[in-house]
Amino acid sequence: MILGRVTGSVVSTIHHPIVDGRKLLVAERLDQNGRSTGRYVIALDAIGAGKGETVLILDEGNGARQILEDANAPVRSLVVGIVDAMELGTN
């Protein structure tokens, strides 16, 4: 999983049926210190994450398909958690 911050959303009317009724979030990718890496990903929302929140993004297709319960879903990135706090050890 990767760390991200929700920085926007994508509005899409015409799309694959798996996107129906789901939110597409624009998330900037963060490093372990919560700083932006300059990269981003468009992820489907599985938990109701909102503006500015730090989130955990599952970035692997088979896991995403399990959560969506659709073996043929063309989805790789899925927001699966909202992060409250992080702590890094000194070593």
Partner 1 sequence: MLLGRVIGTVVPAVLVDEISAIPLLWVQPLDREGRPDGKPLVCADGTRMAGPGQMIYWVASREAALTLEPWFVPVDDAIVGLVDDVRLYAREDASR
Kindly state whether residue 74 participates in binding partner 1, applying the rule CB under 8 A: yes
For 61, the enclosing helix (H) or strand (E) is helix 61-68
Task: Decide: is 37 part of the binding site for partner 1 (CB under 8 A).
Answer: no
Structure tokens at 72: 């043929």
| 16 within 8 A of 34, measured Cβ to Cβ | no
Buried b (16+ CB within 10 A) or exposed e, 45-84: bbeebeeebbbbbbbeeeebbeebeeeebebbbbbbeeee
Among 23, 26, 67, 82, binds partner 1 (CB under 8 A): 26
- Our finding on whether 10 is near partner 1 (CB under 8 A) is yes
Q: Please identify, using beta-carbon distances, which residue of 76 and 90 lies nearer to partner 1.
A: 76
Nearer to partner 1 (CB atom), residue 72 or residue 90 = 72
Binding footprint of partner 1 on the chain (CB under 8 A):
6-16, 19, 24, 26, 28, 35-36, 40-43, 51-52, 61, 72-77
